[in-house]
Structure 1
Amino acid sequence: MIRKKLNLFLVSLWSVWMLQSCGNPPLVDSTDLVIYGGTSAAITAAVQAKKMGKSVIIVSPDKHLGGLTSGGLGWSDTGKKEVIGGLSREFYQRVYDKYQQENAWKWEAKSDFGNKGQGTPALDGEFKTMWIFEPHVAEEVYEEWIAELGIEVLRDEWLDRETGVTVENGKITAIRTLSGKEFKGKMFMDATYEGDLMAAAGVSYHVGREANSVYSEEWNGVQTGVYHHRHHFQVLDQPIDPYWIPGDPSSGLLPRISAEHPGIKGEGDDKVQAYCFRMCMSNHPDNRIPFPRPANYDSTQYELLVRIFDAGWDEWFDKFDLIPNRKTDTNNHGPFSSDNIGMNYDYPEASYERRKEIIQEHRDYQSGLLYFVQNDPRIPEKTQIAFKEWGLAKDEFVDNDHWPHQIYVREARRMIGTYVMTENELLQKWPTPQSVGMGSYTIDSHNIQRYVDENGHVQNEGDIGVPLPGPYEIAYGSLIPKKEECSNLVVPVAVSASHIAFGSIRMEPVFMILGQSATTAAMMALDQGIAVQDLSYTSLRERLLADGQVLTMEDRIIAK
């Protein structure tokens, strides 16, 4: 009898082994932290979890790690570098180490690089940080960081947004991807630009601009008649007619001008600021590829730009910000540029298929723009000759035809959490409770609409730039949902903030800061068996400071 039972037991073990060997996944315990997303915040979050001795997995819809930081935004929006601490600062120190190696300078001598950054030297020898870098270098840093700590990353795994989030008793217990994989966890993080996990879990969020009356703000909502940067038509000496036949509305509007009324100033809408790709260009003859002519190229899409050049505009090269090795991080600049105004409104809530269509349309528009300026005979000769010296960087984004793999999602969904950051905290009109990091970049929104104004001329709307009195604190409550909605989720990217406050918070160094802080809170709550909303801020603050985070101006990193 004993032998018979033993044989049955062995047969059972063999059966389990055979089932697992034939493709059925083995049964595993829940992971301490499941991170959905492949952004810069996802990386620092995973690193922090490992440093706290926790199990972690990154489930990334992206094949490349780092989001915008490795996707072309190498001209870092640093703000005040002294409030960038923790793992975010370590990232820039690791980039610095890369550029201390002689082989990092392939296309120019290190001594020839101008060392210009946004308000700080690009190569900062005093603090051993590098704030300006090439896309592939940022990606190398992230990949090496992940490898050093043995962090598991599953790529090209897309959340099933319809039925792929299991919530029980106010807690997420598992997520599933479209490939059928399931990931059980004790704590979860949404580290996407879009806030897909947060939304699928039933957490409250907002898309678009709130009316100024919602949070007692000045710079939210529709902002007609406000011209803060040089991305509007007021920079020209003459107004621009929006119609195919000037002065004749019956001839129809030129492409990419809306016929809709822009709305009442200060009122809210469901529109989001424009997206673009941050372009990595090269002017080195051996490392540049001519801008390709898109298959569906249509020169009429850029008719408005011709009129702008004819009006005397001469700022085409003003945002060719130099990064190492004779390359650029080229951003939007001027009344008509790489920002594809008005073509992204449905992106935040769109299906994956629709998002791919929007991204492709943005790529077609932007690549067509580059080809147009380089080849159309109506472009001023001086500009065209100079621009022919530029092309796509041959050694960047090599698996994507040298085009950035990440579109600049400047905003999408924004959580409505236990605390909503507004311009009032940023402008220090009232204090911020329970700081988990600091931001310092100007309140910044790109254009949202292009329309016909009351005088019958074309105008852009939504571009806002409001200086800050100094760095500001970011509330812990902006990283966590309301307790009744979900008690084991943290959200360091699609944070709880108004449209205009998010315009400053949305910088990549800040996302890395918040990724670390959100993980710290989640893992401490896990250890105590409590909801993330019930965590003692005193203990959280103590751990964040011990890990090098800057929470107030008293903690800022200054020269010794």
Structure 2
Amino acid sequence: MSTPAVRSIEEPARKIPVSAEYDVLVVGGGPSGLTAALAAAEDGLRVGLIESRSFVGGNMTIGLPVLGFLGQKGNQIIDGLPQKFIDRLRNERDGASEHRPCPLHMGITLVEPEAVKTVALEMLTDAGVDVLFYTFFAGAIVESDTIRGIITESKSGRSAILAKVVIDCTGDADVAYQAGVPTEKGDGNGGMQPPTLMFCLGGVDTDKLRMSIANTPREARTYLTDFIPAEYFGQNHQFIVVGLRELMAKAKQERGLDIPNERTIIITGLKKGEVWINMTRVKGTDGTDARSLTNGEIEGRRQIDDIVTYLINYVPGFETAYFTKTAPFLGIRETRRIVGQYVLTQEDVLSCTHFDDAVAVASYPIDIHRPGDDGCTLIWCGDCYDIPYRSLVPNKVGNLLVAGRSISATHEAMGAIRVMATCMAMGEAAGRAAKISVRGNRAPAEIDVQELRRQQLERGVYLRNPDGTRASAPDHKVVV
């Protein structure tokens, strides 16, 4: 059977007004975009940031905790601007917890979504970053394999924004892809980790929940939490529950509930009695396709009722719980990844590889919500691994950097570096690299990476020596 021809129209050529020009333009205001813009603007460059939504913060605003600040040995391995953001969030808005050790996730940092939106925007405006909301990236302006800016669409119409360096922090490599950078998507079969539509419940007795786990005799337990010992819940009032597999199986059998997930995932909020639920699972969703995303929202919302029924009727502490809100958008775990100067691999992660051009350190395990079933794969390396600058530099297109989960990495390595604290660390590195590029009139691929590393260390970024110890800042100041 022949494929039907795709109908099309021809759009007349038109002149696009240039609405702004910057030294550095950041596309996307999520965790990596926030720190990229702050780093690029730290000594007076003209920096712009565009965001399609009405707020910044990205996945920090959908009820998820920030993962990745702590390493597998319990030490803090992400510092610098990400830590300054958490400090301000906690000190000024009571909007963040301390970094709490977690046997499964190494460390969790709880954040209040609405406080994230306010504090992130305050930090950007205080730094002089020109923020533009309600503005969609629509195309790349490329001349002689060098990006010169982007095309945007908004209520104001179609316009162009020019920049000396563009940083793609879309999470989906949108800018890189449109500019002609080679990209990959998913695993060897093109399967991508399924997204989740987070939602929030109030009226939960979280102490009853945690103590029901902590106090159950080992020989009498009918459910266990994945990798998290029961004793942990007796010591922590705010926590993550991952597991309760037998309770969920019982609920599905007795009530015929349709919950496409093997595990219960409950995240306590900062407010008393509030929990966020990470259990909807929308397999087959492509986060780069509007129709697929729409279907994912529809399916995610459909799943919520059965999940709430399960929680209220089977999980201790949820007896008087009530639904309050859903996240403002689907939490996307995986879409495109660029092919850059270096492709970070699973072996790099699991062997704790040190790179001479490392600009960030990470420790989160390889965590893959498998595309083909309802399960998850977790693999730990035992310590930390480096993220090389070359993985932020795309092939084929100049004056462009990429930060966040769409850097140059394999499907498996991306499963490790995709968490928010790591993305913030990559954003800080990209922003500072863009600044060096502009100040030195050099392409990002041609900057002195050791100079970048020196500046990172001077700003409090955690980097490693070859023997694994924390690297110290140089005695002298760098002039750019």
Distance 1:549 1:308 in 2: 52
- Within the alignment, does 1:147 sit opposite 2:93 as a pair? no
Change beyond 3 A, Cα 1:374–1:57:
same
Change beyond 3 A, Cα 1:119–1:360:
closer
Q: Which has the higher strand share?
A: 2
Deviation at 1:91, TM superposition (A): 1.2
Q: CA RMSD in A?
A: 3.3
Query: 1:216-255, aligned counterparts within 5 Å?
Result: none
Question: Residue 328 of structure 2 aligns with which residue?
Answer: 405
- Within the alignment, does 1:554 sit opposite 2:452 as a pair? no
Q: Report SS of the residue matched to 1:277.
A: coil
Distance 2:143 2:251 in 1: 54
- Within the alignment, does 1:368 sit opposite 2:276 as a pair? no
| Residue deviations 1:59-116 (CA, integer Å, cap 9, x gap) | 111222111112211353434252111101111111221365xxx79xxxxxxx9x89
Distance 1:138 1:27 in 2: 31
| Residue deviations 1:381-438 (CA, integer Å, cap 9, x gap) | 444x853422344xxxxxxxx3211321111101110001111111126543410001
Question: Residue 377 of structure 2 aligns with which residue?
Answer: 464
Q: Report SS of the residue matched to 1:69.
A: helix
Q: Report SS of the residue matched to 1:520.
A: helix
Give yes or no for contact 1:74–1:133 (8 Å, CA) kept in 2. Answer: yes
- Within the alignment, does 1:277 sit opposite 2:190 as a pair? no
Deviation at 1:521, TM superposition (A): 0.9
Change beyond 3 A, Cα 1:363–1:430:
closer
Question: Residue 237 of structure 1 aligns with which residue?
Answer: none
Unaligned runs of 5+ residues in structure 2 are 1-14, 206-247, 473-480
Question: Residue 144 of structure 2 aligns with which residue?
Answer: 169
Deviation at 1:556, TM superposition (A): 6.7
Find the partner of 1:35 among 16, 26, 34.
Answer: 26
Change beyond 3 A, Cα 1:467–1:326:
same
Distance 1:467 1:47 in 2: 32
| Matching residue's letter, 1:280 | C
Deviation at 1:310, TM superposition (A): 8.2
Q: Report SS of the residue matched to 1:365.
A: helix
Find the partner of 2:276 among 305, 327, 330.
Answer: 330
Question: Residue 217 of structure 2 aligns with which residue?
Answer: none
| Matching residue's letter, 1:481 | P
- Within the alignment, does 1:387 sit opposite 2:329 as a pair? no
| Residue deviations 1:526-547 (CA, integer Å, cap 9, x gap) | 2222221111122111111111
Q: Report SS of the residue matched to 2:48.
A: strand
Find the partner of 2:429 among 514, 517, 524.
Answer: 517
| Matching residue's letter, 1:307 | Q
Query: Could you tell me the TM-score, scaled by structure 2's length?
Result: 0.75
| Residue deviations 1:484-512 (CA, integer Å, cap 9, x gap) | x1110110011111111111101101111
| Matching residue's letter, 1:142 | A
| Matching residue's letter, 2:295 | I
Change beyond 3 A, Cα 1:325–1:27:
closer
Question: Residue 6 of structure 1 aligns with which residue?
Answer: none
Deviation at 1:364, TM superposition (A): 2.0
Aligned length: 402
Distance 1:280 1:556 in 2: 41
Question: Residue 49 of structure 1 aligns with which residue?
Answer: 40
| Matching residue's letter, 1:391 | Y
Distance 1:414 1:518 in 2: 16
Question: Residue 347 of structure 1 aligns with which residue?
Answer: 287
Q: Report SS of the residue matched to 2:306.
A: helix
Change beyond 3 A, Cα 1:77–1:535:
closer
Deviation at 1:176, TM superposition (A): 1.0
Find the partner of 1:320 among 266, 285, 296.
Answer: 266
| Matching residue's letter, 1:169 | S
Change beyond 3 A, Cα 1:304–1:487:
farther
Deviation at 1:468, TM superposition (A): 1.4
Give yes or no for contact 2:23–2:164 (8 Å, CA) kept in 1. Answer: yes
Query: 1:68-83, aligned counterparts within 5 Å?
Result: 68-74=59-65, 76-80=67-71, 82-83=76-77
| Matching residue's letter, 1:48 | A
Change beyond 3 A, Cα 1:76–1:424:
closer
| Residue deviations 1:313-337 (CA, integer Å, cap 9, x gap) | 9x999532222112555344xxxx4
Query: 1:393-542, aligned counterparts within 5 Å?
Result: 393=324, 402-428=325-351, 430-450=353-373, 460=374, 463-482=376-395, 485-493=396-404, 494-542=406-454
Query: 1:92-131, aligned counterparts within 5 Å?
Result: 92-98=86-92, 117-119=100-102, 131=109
Change beyond 3 A, Cα 1:310–1:26:
closer
Query: Could you tell me the TM-score, scaled by structure 1's length?
Result: 0.65
Question: Residue 135 of structure 1 aligns with which residue?
Answer: 113
| Residue deviations 1:286-345 (CA, integer Å, cap 9, x gap) | xxxxxxxxxxxxxxxx9996238789x9x999532222112555344xxxx4222x231x
Change beyond 3 A, Cα 1:25–1:152:
farther
| Matching residue's letter, 1:270 | G
Change beyond 3 A, Cα 1:328–1:524:
same
Q: Report SS of the residue matched to 2:24.
A: strand
Unaligned runs of 5+ residues in structure 1 are 1-23, 106-112, 125-129, 210-267, 286-301, 376-380, 394-401, 451-459
| Residue deviations 1:2-41 (CA, integer Å, cap 9, x gap) | xxxxxxxxxxxxxxxxxxxxxx998677310111112111
Distance 2:427 2:132 in 1: 18
Give yes or no for contact 1:165–1:201 (8 Å, CA) kept in 2. Answer: yes
| Matching residue's letter, 1:68 | N
Give yes or no for contact 1:445–1:500 (8 Å, CA) kept in 2. Answer: yes
Distance 1:487 1:305 in 2: 54
Distance 2:65 2:275 in 1: 6
Deviation at 1:279, TM superposition (A): 2.8
